[in-house]
Amino acid sequence: MEFVQHNIWLILLAAFSGFMLIFPSLRSKISGAEEVDTTGAVQLINHDNALVLDVREASEFSSGHIADAKHIPVGQLGNSLKTLEKYKDQAIVVNCRSGARSAMACGVLRKNGFTKVYNLKGGIQAWQQAGLPTVK
C-alpha cells in the first residue's frame, strides 16, 4: 500500500496511457462501423461499386478528394439522409481528414439503417500517404 501512495501519479499515468492505447478500437466499436484500410477501400470501390462519402468541410474537400466522392459535411449528414437512401444496402466508404469525423458519420448512418458502412482508417491522409490519387 505504501508503494501505491508514493507512486500514485505514475500509476495514474500508466492507466491513462493504457486507456489511450485502446481508445481507437473502442471508438470504432461504439460507432458501429467497420474500419477499412486503403487497400480494402480500393477493393470495395472497384469490386463492390462502393459509394465514397467525404464528410469534411467544403474547403477541405475542394483541396483534394477521392474521385467520384459524394460530399456531405458531417454537420449536415442528418439532414441529408434522404439523398443517400438509394445507397442503404450498398457499401459506403466514409472518409474525413484522419478518421474521427468519419467514425461519427458511420455511427449516424448505421443508426439510420445503412448496413454496409466502412470508415476509412486514417482518412484522406492515409489515402494520400499510400500514393492513391485525389482530384480537385
Q: Which three cell numbers stand for residue 35?
A: 474500419
pLDDT at 27 over 80: no
Q: How confident is the model at residue 19 (pLDDT cuts 50, 70, 90)?
A: confident
Q: Where are the domains of the chain?
A: 1-31, 32-129
* Cβ atoms 97, 125 nearer than 8 A: yes
- Examine the pLDDT at 133 and tell me if it is beyond 80: yes
Nearest residue to 98 via CA among 68, 119, 71, 77: 119
Instruction: Please give the DSSP secondary-structure letter assigned to residue 135.
Output: B
Give the whole-angstrom CA distance, residue 122 versus residue 15: 25
> What one-letter code names the amino acid at 73?
P
Mind telling me the catalytic residues?
Answer: 96
Average pLDDT of 55-62? 96
Q: What is the pTM of this model?
A: 0.77
CA 90, distance to chain mean position in Å, is 17
Q: State the Cα–Cα distance between residues 69 and 134, nearest whole angstrom.
A: 10
The class level of CATH for 32-129 reads alpha beta
The predicted structure's pLDDT at residue 102:
93
pLDDT category of residue 21 using cuts at 50, 70 and 90? confident
For 47, 81, 116, 120, the CA distances from 105, given in Å and listed in that order, are: 23, 11, 13, 11
Strand order in the sheet with 51-54: 34-36, 117-120, 92-95, 51-54, 70-71
The per-residue pLDDT for 8 is 86
Q: What is the pLDDT of residue 32?
A: 60
pLDDT-wise least confident of 22-26, 29-33, 86-90: 29-33
Confidence of residue 3 (pLDDT cuts 50, 70, 90): confident
Element holding 62 (H helix, E strand): helix 58-62
